[in-house]
Amino acid sequence: MNRAWFVVWALVVYQIAAWAFVPQETIQQPAAAVDGPGFGSNEAIFVQGRATLRRETSLAFERPYGSRCAGEGRKQFVSNIDEYYYHRQNDTERYGETFGKPGADYITKQWSTGEDKRIERLTQEAYALGFIQPSDFDGVARKMVEVVIKNERVMARSCAS
């Protein structure tokens, strides 16, 4: 009986050692070609989220100019714009990665509404008047902000102290 248990124990130890120390084969699955609509099944939620984001960003640009330079008003102003451009840049990058060309085309169209053009124009104006600068934004949002303001020139230093 002792020999039988010893053999079983040796087999168990051998199996555990094999699992622990033998390298696993990594199989790379090629990405499936996407030939669909360019978005997922829960896109309606994201469409509503983009509309809410546009509305909040527009409200940020309606704040009095005096509140854009210091304190909590400035923090909220920059935060709302940062949030908008963060999601816009992130969607632009991720839809193309996830859904291929149909996704990239779809999200480009989604972020090209009249309200988006208005927010771009207001961002350019805020930059030209010195209320914002690219360094106010995080890395993801900054990419999109730099594209939006690339042809603008700072004409005033409204927040210079």
Half-sphere exposure (CA, 13 Å, Cβ side) for 127? 22
Task: Report the pLDDT value the prediction gives residue 8, as an integer from 0 to 100.
Answer: 78
Q: What is the mean pLDDT of each run of 10 residues along the chain (161 residues)?
A: 78 76 62 64 90 95 88 92 95 90 92 94 93 92 94 82 57
Predicted local confidence at residue 15, as pLDDT: 80
**CA pair distance 13, 11, nearest whole angstrom:** 6
What is the reported pLDDT for 32? 53
Identify the pLDDT of residue 161.
Answer: 57
Token couple for 23: 């390298």
Q: Write the burial class of residue 69 (CB in 10 Å: 0-12 exposed, 13-18 middle, 19+ buried).
A: middle
d(CA 83, CA 60): 11
